[in-house]
A = this chain, B = another copy of it.
């Protein structure tokens, strides 16, 4: 079964929305896709005939097992291309997303298999998000946001939620990158900000808003 780029974008969007909530609505999906609810309804009917979603009118929808597999294969492509763009072509993480949005629709499976091997079968993309393997298996790691790291504990930065240029700029300023080890010196209860220490750099204070977007492993 083949899918158009548009279908693939819907499948991916449904997958991502399903991750963070237990039911996805037509309105929510239309907002995510920057289309109107009526367009979503049309696409749901199409994806139902292709057995990608379970869907009954007015009753909601969700990805089928096949839909889930398809979503994971698209995400795999997206993140492998992001890794390529970052590690081989030297792009910053805030630049890779839009290019990967196009590259993820290139159809050849053999291409992805070889790209994966060429890159050394990476498990995480430049934002720290896990890359599904060829079976769709995702390596899950236990992560906590920087706000949840206990005082005096050392943690390793593993991914970031907000991947905007502005966030990248901030993290560069703080000398924080994926894999950076940091110690949480103290937490300020007044505003939720945290003081961190990264080896040779002086300790700095990070606002709660930023800290919430930084994931760590302990």
Contact of A118 (CB < 8 Å), options: B88, B107, B108: B88
A107 contacts B111, CB within 8 Å? no
A115 neighbours in B (Cβ, 8 Å): 89
Copies of this chain present: 2
Distance between Cα atoms of A102 and B99 in the complex (Å): 14
A120 close to B (CB within 8 Å): no
Q: Kindly report which residue of chain B lies nearest to residue A98, judged by CB atoms.
A: B108
A103 close to B (CB within 8 Å): yes
B111 contacts A89, CB within 8 Å? yes
The number of chain A residues touching the other chain, given as a range, is 10 to 19
Most chain B Cβ neighbours within 10 Å, of A99, A110, A111: A111
Contact of A99 (CB < 8 Å), options: B85, B89, B106: B106
Distance between Cα atoms of A188 and B99 in the complex (Å): 54
A153 neighbours in B (Cβ, 8 Å): none
A89 contacts B118, CB within 8 Å? yes
Distance between Cα atoms of A95 and B103 in the complex (Å): 18
A114 contacts B99, CB within 8 Å? no
Distance between Cα atoms of A89 and B89 in the complex (Å): 15
Distance between Cα atoms of A106 and B81 in the complex (Å): 12
Distance between Cα atoms of A107 and B105 in the complex (Å): 13
A89 neighbours in B (Cβ, 8 Å): 111, 114-115, 118
Which 9 pairs, one residue from A and one from B, show the smallest C-beta to C-beta distance? A89-B114, A102-B106, A99-B108, A99-B111, A89-B118, A88-B118, A103-B106, A89-B115, A102-B107
Interface residues of A (CB under 8 A from B): 85, 88-91, 95, 98-99, 102-103, 105-108, 110-111, 114-115, 118
> In the complex, given contacts A89-B115, A91-B114, what are 7 additional A-B residue pairs having Cβ atoms less than 8 angstroms apart?
A89-B111, A89-B118, A98-B108, A99-B106, A99-B111, A102-B106, A102-B107
